[in-house]
A and B are shown apart, each in its own frame.
Chain A
């Protein structure tokens, strides 16, 4: 899959320390394994990669890279341990590309600098895969900065 990256996004990637090759590889992995989120409407996907120290996400259409974001908090699993019934509509705008299930908006435990707390995740209830949205990644960035300051 040959994916276009606008100059503007390319500059943003550079500014944020992302390497284009790594992002392309992350997308290629998601495409070959099917492990990604797909918008329930429209042809947009979110691929996930990186390490325990940095989870990187790429948002893309079949032709173009749209956004890249990341968080340092490492997702451990569902807050409270299991997927209980809950009292609101938790269906997100995304579905798991692998199994087709709608991704659910659920709290997931995240850990960083020895602190474990909940955060709003996107969860495939079947594959037990966890993602976060780009907006939540911005919220997590603020949280990470506080932890870095306070845990130092």
Chain B
């Protein structure tokens, strides 16, 4: 759908949402907590399109996301990204899928020797590569058509996520046991790649917000020592390099999955004045916002979560109940709070469930600290 087919964005809504969105970052008083349900291809479902369509049309994807933000009254930021970034730039093949985000089919690294020979691209090369060409098409559309909803986001994932987009996850996990030095090398290169990608975005837009963290590297798949060695340490090194290169200031630590045993180490991850931490699960349960605020509240902005499974398959009442509990625990966190989902909003989540999440923030997320 071309831009002219959308109804205009309500400017009053945008101004109000913008002010709610500003509060967690700069402590400027507003009425209540804002919700970020991490809308990506879910927006397409609102337009009766599928995920395949969403990802093949980055400019339209942004329009759909921005309009979904207005519909739900959530964070006014246009997003476009998926997990399998950064393979294609190094020779991987990517498959567009109808009902899920694009997936890498052929990975460039097959052997330990390939890891040695693998050369990380610099920011200029990456800016011209397939991942950022598509990504920037989305961001440029946002900047042009929805300038007040623009954020210069770079989707990185952590070192393990980049590494497993370059080499098969089975190989990486096998090397972790048989030849861990190979994985060290791979994660170091993934870290260097993260720095190049952030520089590319900062050079293009004058600032950069990096989405990093630890998704595969969670307690579901790795032990704490492995997470420390292959995720926390190389990710921290990379983030520090990005900040030392002036390619910040935004840092979003997205710790997806179970982080019961490793979340404490992330308290000392490098932070900038615009840092947010989101932790998905504590064992099998949603990570309690009370615990998040206890450990991170005096450090950075906290992102409290509602179980994505609940948003996808629960009832509105269940979503509302969990959102209520989380938002009450988080709303007055000293360095700001946002309520959202543990991971991206499922493509076909019932809109009433997203609405229930927002409703909980409206009913129970009024600030008391201002």
Give Cα A84–Cα B206 distance, bound, in whole angstroms. 34
Q: Which of B229-277 contact A (CB under 8 A)?
A: 232-233, 236-237, 240, 243-249, 265, 267-268, 270-275
Contacting residues, chain A, for B27 (C-beta < 8 A): 114-115
Q: CB distance A118 to B228 under 8 Å?
A: no
A-contact bits for B199-241, CB 8 A (1 contact / 0 none): 0000000110000000000000000000010001100110010
Tell me the smallest distance from the CB of A8 to a CB of chain B, in Å: 20
B-contacting residues, A94-148, CB 8 Å: 105-107, 110, 112-120, 133, 135-143, 146-147
Would you call A1 an interface residue if the criterion is a C-beta within 8 Å of the partner chain's C-beta atoms? Answer: no
Most B C-beta atoms less than 10 A away, residue of A84, A105, A117, A141: A117
In the complex, A151 Cα to B22 Cα: how many Å? Answer: 9
Q: Contacts of B294 on A, CB cut-off 8 Å? A: none
Interchain CB contact under 8 A, A79 and B22: no
* B313 in contact (CB, < 8 A): no
| Pairwise interchain contact B25-A136, C-beta atoms closer than 8 A | no
- Please pick, from B206, B244, B265, the residue contacting A142 in the complex, using a CB distance under 8 A: B206
Which residue of B28, B233, B247, B271 is within 8 Å of A119 (Cβ)? B271
CB contact between A88 and one of B236, B274, B275, B335 (< 8 Å): that residue: B236
**A80 with B246: CB separation less than 8 A:** no
Determine the main DSSP class of A at the interface with B: mixed
In the bound complex, residues from chain A placing their C-beta under 8 Å from that of B28 are: 150-151
Contact between B299 and A118 (Cβ–Cβ < 8 Å)?
yes
- Total interface residues on B, using CB and 8 Å? 33
How far is it, in angstroms, between the C-alpha of A113 and the C-alpha of B26 when the chains are bound? 9
Contact between chains at A117 and B275 (CB < 8 Å): yes
A151 to B243, CA, bound (A): 23
Contact: A117 with B298, CB < 8 Å? no
**B272 CB to closest chain A CB, in angstroms?**
6
CB-defined contacts of B265 to chain A, threshold 8 Å = 86-87
B26 touches A142 (CB 8 A): no
Assuming A142-B206, A146-B274, is B246 touching A151 (CB within 8 A)?
A: no
Contact B248–A142 (Cβ < 8 Å): yes
Most B-side CB within 10 Å, residue of A88, A135, A140: A88
Q: Are B236 and A117 in contact (CB under 8 A)?
A: no
Enumerate chain A residues within 8 angstroms of B246, measured Cβ to Cβ.
135-139, 141-142
B300 near A: Cβ within 8 Å? yes
For window 287-324 of chain B, which residues contact chain A by CB distance below 8 Å? 298-300
Cross-chain contact of A150 among B26, B233, B271, B299 (Cβ < 8 A): B26
13 contacts between A and B (CB under 8 A): A79-B271, A80-B267, A80-B299, A87-B233, A88-B233, A107-B270, A117-B273, A117-B274, A139-B247, A140-B273, A143-B248, A143-B274, A146-B26
Q: What is A's interface to B at a CB cutoff of 8 Å?
A: 73, 79-81, 84, 86-89, 105-107, 110, 112-120, 133, 135-143, 146-147, 150-151
